[in-house]
């Protein structure tokens, strides 16, 4: 299970690790899709140049792999959360990361997640999504969901106006997620 960037990583793991019994990504992404730019803060007119942007980022990562890139460079914080308390916690948490090394971001943007749609996933996939997520739009999540080739797939959809549903409305999210997890024990 993973949330946001962790959702992407959980799907990547499911594509290659046959030991995984089920994967529960909160939000999903296939970096090579042109619409993936909609998740970032990059201008939408760059959509046709998604591959070129990835190549530029790879080149930059080779030149300065450890350069720290703030989350706000590639994501709009207001689309992540509008909660001042969560934003303050994000910057105050000593274990939290407010920036990532360029080599990590490059690998995330260039990740080959073709395994999502080529049958590499051998376990069930339960995509967790929110209809009002301003970062990973519900339409985008549906576009990626339709490409998933797995023995079983389903969506657990919450009608919430948040991206950080596990932080902003846990009282409405945790119970149904735990129930769904139990179905796959």
Q: Which CATH number covers residue 89?
A: 3.40.50.1820
DSSP one-letter string for the chain: -EETHHHHHHHHHHHH-TT-S-B-EES---TTSGGGGGGSSS-GGGGGGHHHHHHHHHHHHHH-TT-EEEHHHHS-HHHH---HHHHHHHHH-TT--SEEEHHHHHHHHT---GGGTTT---S-EEEEEETT-SSS-HHHHHHHHHH---SSEEEEEE--S-S-HHHH-HHHHHHHHHHHHHHT-
Looking at residue 23, what DSSP letter applies?
A: B
Number of domains in the chain: 1
pTM across the whole model? 0.89
Token code pair at residue 92: 């105050």
Per-residue pLDDT tens over the stretch 29-78 = 888 888 888 998 888 888 888 888 888 989 999 999 999 999 998 899 89
Band the pLDDT of 108: cuts 50, 70, 90.
Answer: confident
pLDDT of residue 45: 87
Rounded average pLDDT over 92-114: 89
Is 146's pLDDT higher than 90?
yes
Domain range for 122 is 2-183
Q: Contact, 8 vs 27, CB < 8 A?
A: yes
């Amino acid at each position: 299970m993973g949330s946001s960037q962790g959702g992407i990583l959980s799907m990547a793991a499911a594509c290659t690790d046959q030991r995984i019994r089920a994967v529960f990504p909160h939000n999903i992404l296939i970096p090579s899709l042109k619409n993936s730019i909609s998740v970032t803060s990059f201008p939408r007119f760059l959509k046709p140049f998604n591959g070129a942007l990835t190549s530029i980022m790879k080149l930059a990562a080779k030149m300065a792999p450890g350069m720290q890139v703030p989350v706000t460079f590639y994501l709009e914080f207001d689309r992540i959360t509008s909660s001042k308390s969560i934003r303050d916690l994000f910057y105050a948490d000593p274990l939290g990361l407010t920036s990532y090394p360029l080599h990590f971001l490059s690998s995330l943007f260039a990740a080959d997640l073709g395994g999502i749609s080529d049958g590499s996933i051998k376990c069930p996939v339960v995509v967790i999504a929110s209809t009002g997520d301003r970062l990973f739009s519900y339409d985008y999540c549906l576009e990626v969901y339709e490409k998933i080739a797995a023995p079983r797939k389903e969506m657990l959809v919450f009608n919430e106006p948040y991206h950080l549903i596990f932080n902003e409305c846990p009282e409405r999210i945790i119970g149904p997620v735990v129930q769904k997890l139990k179905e796959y024990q």
